[in-house]
Each structure stands twice: as C-alpha cells, then as structure tokens.
C-alpha cells in the first residue's frame, strides 16, 4: 500500500461554484483532501449555477451536498457538517456569509479548529471591499494590465488566462490554508483568512512595485528587460506564420543565439538601447527563413532559451507534457470518456486510469448528514421540506 496523500485527513467545505475558491479546492482535492461542494437545492423555475461539466477537473474526487442556507434547519444541518470539517472556503460578498448564519463566528462556535477562508475580489475591508469584479478588474487595479503588451489601439492587451483567479486568488488561498493548518497543529486553534484577489495581483507584481518604491520609476511595457525593452526577450514571427519566444537574458545564451543565426555582430551590444530596433529587424529576417518547429529543433537544444508559442490544441498534443503525465482521462456518465489536465502540481495524486466523474445532479447529502449524526427521520423530514437534496 502506498503512502497516504498529503491532505488525506483534511475535510473541506466549499461554498463556491467558480472562480478563485473553486481553483483553490481543486488544488486541495488533488493533494488528497476530501472536498465537499455546498450548493442550494434546485427549485422550480430557478437556474442552478454550476460550472461546465469539464471545468475544474469535472469535480473529480469531490463530494456534493445541497442545503438551503436560507432555512434555519438547513443552517443547522450545515453546522453539523462544519463541526467535523477542517476547512471552509466561501466567496460571498463581504458580510453575506455572516448574515446567512454561516460566517466564521458561526463555524467557530461549533468547531474551534476550523480554518475559514473568505475569498473576495478586494478583501473583507477597504474602500473597494463592496465592489463587484472579475479577473480582468483585479489585474487592472493591481498593475498587471498596465505592464502587459499593447493592442493596436494602444490599450492593454487582454490576458490569455484568468491569472488573477488562478494564481492571485486560488493559489494564494491554498497556500494560506496550508499555512493555517500547519499553525493549527501547534496551537489547536483555527483561523479566519481574508484572501483578496487584488492583493494577490499586487504580490505577483512585487518586482515592479518594489522597483518603483526603490527608484521612483513607473515601469510599463517596454520599460525594462522583462517587458520588451530589449530584443533578446521578445517574440518573433517565423516563416510559417507561427511565433517563437526568445528569452536569452544571460549573455552566454544571447551569444549562443547570435552565433547560431550568424548575427555575431550583436553579441556585445545586447543591452545597447541605441540598436535594439536594428537587432529586432535582423532577428525577424533570420527567423522568417524557416518554420517555427525547424527553428525550435535547431536552437532549443543549443542553450539559446527559445521555445515555440503553442496554441491550446498544440499543448494538448505536446509530447513533452504527455511524457510528464500532464493529461489523464475522465469518464462522464453522459459525456463519455475525454481527456483532461491531470493533478499536475508536484506531489499531487494522479490516477492511473480514467477518473470516474458524476453528473452534477448527484449528491452525497444524505450520506454525509448521516455521518454527521443526523437521524434518518430528520434527514427525511428535511428532504420532504425541500431543505436538502
């Protein structure tokens, strides 16, 4: 028998459907935590908000309960689950969870050890705390968009991924929860974590913001090495209308690239601001002579720091990622078998075979409430009243 998963003994109540909290619990589940997704029972005429069947790993390895938190009996049932949980994570507007009777203080009354994580766009306090927002907004206020490249009209380019939700929010929440669990092992006490996605974006931009504090510079696109000031760190079109990423920062890698392209005259002028456009012109001309993959085959093994700019479809069929076990199979009762990104982060659990998924309508409500100590007749009553499903 193999070793237990890193979070094998951790139970998480997740009130989210999408966004940073859902990203967080996907990570926790991939490390072995028992994640229980908490949602409301479907009602006639209502629209149940569920992520697409394939999103967030299709809910692989997670459990579900449907409880009406607006009903006193529903809140009482949930608190029975909370008494045996280690973590709760919510993404309501600040103050809403407390008004519903499922806030940190409510949970702490039944479980002093609970790690309660509140995720929101701008945090539980501050002048923006009540603002509505999404990923793009948090990237905007945190400085990420200003640092990004520009569109033809001069505006910031839209990012190709929900970086704020995934890294600034989801990963931040997972790190904070793991740290709080470690602290709890020493103190026996839980914690209330205030995860602000916008704060997380500021953390991601720390190099640039600290540079501003230290020098007074207001860095933007093209202002420094990592934002396009120099030709050695840029993307270039190739002869087949694809793109090549060049990140030859260190002089040795830059020298290797120049020699491979017959551009030795630029080796000593890598950071000479007066010739950058001339260097770029020569690089564009050189790369136009061959297709992207031919350049990759020639240059990548030669210590030049180049890589292909791949589409999502190309990533999905990339042999390196396949060799790394990055993709697995899922089996859905209605959608059939399809590929998905595996539990990819280092040390996470990866299934050897297809992962069996369930339809979103299937819940574990009755089983979990029985395990929490509710009597069968009480569960039947709650079901008949529409409080649980």
Active site positions, annotated: 134, 165
* Alpha helices (runs of H) in 61-101, residue ranges in sequence order: 72-83, 96-100
- Asked if residues 168 and 142 have their Cβ atoms less than 8 Å apart, the reply is yes
Asked if residue 7 lies in contact with residue 31, where contact means CB atoms within 8 angstroms, the answer is yes
Q: What is the DSSP letter of 274?
A: G
Q: Is the dihedral of CA 262, 265, 269, 274 positive or negative?
A: negative
Query: How far is Cα of residue 325 from the mean position of the Cα atoms in its chain?
Result: 19
Three-class DSSP category at 239: coil
Which helix (DSSP H) or strand (DSSP E) does residue 277 occupy? helix 276-287
Residue listed under structure tokens 């953390």: 203
Structure tokens, 200: 């997380």
At 183 the three-state DSSP class reads: helix
Question: In 3D, which of 289, 308, 304 has the Cα closest to residue 258?
Answer: 304
Q: Which two tokens stand for residue 144?
A: 């990420």
**Do the Cβ atoms of 50 and 17 come closer than 8 Å?**
yes
């Amino acid at each position: 028998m193999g070793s237990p998963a890193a979070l094998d003994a951790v139970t998480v109540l997740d009130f989210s459907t999408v966004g940073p909290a859902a990203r967080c619990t996907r990570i926790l589940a991939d490390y072995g935590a028992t994640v229980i997704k908490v949602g409301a029972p479907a009602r006639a005429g209502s629209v149940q908000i569920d992520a697409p069947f394939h999103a967030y790993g299709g809910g692989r390895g997670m459990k579900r309960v449907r409880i009406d938190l607006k009903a006193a009996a529903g809140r009482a049932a949930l608190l029975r689950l909370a008494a045996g949980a280690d973590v709760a994570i919510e993404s309501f507007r600040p103050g809403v969870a407390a008004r519903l009777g499922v806030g940190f203080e409510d949970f702490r009354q039944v479980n002093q050890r609970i790690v309660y994580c509140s995720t929101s766009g701008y945090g539980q306090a501050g002048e923006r705390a009540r603002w509505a927002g999404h990923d793009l907004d948090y990237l905007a206020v945190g400085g990420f968009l200003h640092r990004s490249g520009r569109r033809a009209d001069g505006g910031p380019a839209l990012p190709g991924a929900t970086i704020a939700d995934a890294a600034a929010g989801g990963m931040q929440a997972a790190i904070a929860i793991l740290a709080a669990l470690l602290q709890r092992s020493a103190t026996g006490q839980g914690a209330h974590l205030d995860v602000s996605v916008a704060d997380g974006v500021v953390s991601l931009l720390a190099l640039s913001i600290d540079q501003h504090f230290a020098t007074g510079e207001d860095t933007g696109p093209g202002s420094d090495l990592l934002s396009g000031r120099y030709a050695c760190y840029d993307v270039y079109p190739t002869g087949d209308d694809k793109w090549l990423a060049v990140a030859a920062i260190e002089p040795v890698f830059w020298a290797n690239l120049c020699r491979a392209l017959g551009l030795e005259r630029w080796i000593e002028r890598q950071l000479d601001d007066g010739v950058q456009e001339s260097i770029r012109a020569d690089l564009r001309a050189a790369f136009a002579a061959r297709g992207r993959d031919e350049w990759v085959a020639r240059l990548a093994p030669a210590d030049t720091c180049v890589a292909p700019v791949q589409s999502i479809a190309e990533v999905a069929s990339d042999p390196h990622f396949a060799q790394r076990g990055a993709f697995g199979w899922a089996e859905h009762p209605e959608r059939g078998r399809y590929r998905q990104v595996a539990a990819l982060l280092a040390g996470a659990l990866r299934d050897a075979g297809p992962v069996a998924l369930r339809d979103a309508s299937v819940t574990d409500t009755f089983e979990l409430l029985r395990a929490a100590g509710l009597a069968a007749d009480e569960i039947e009553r709650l079901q008949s009243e529409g409080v649980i499903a």
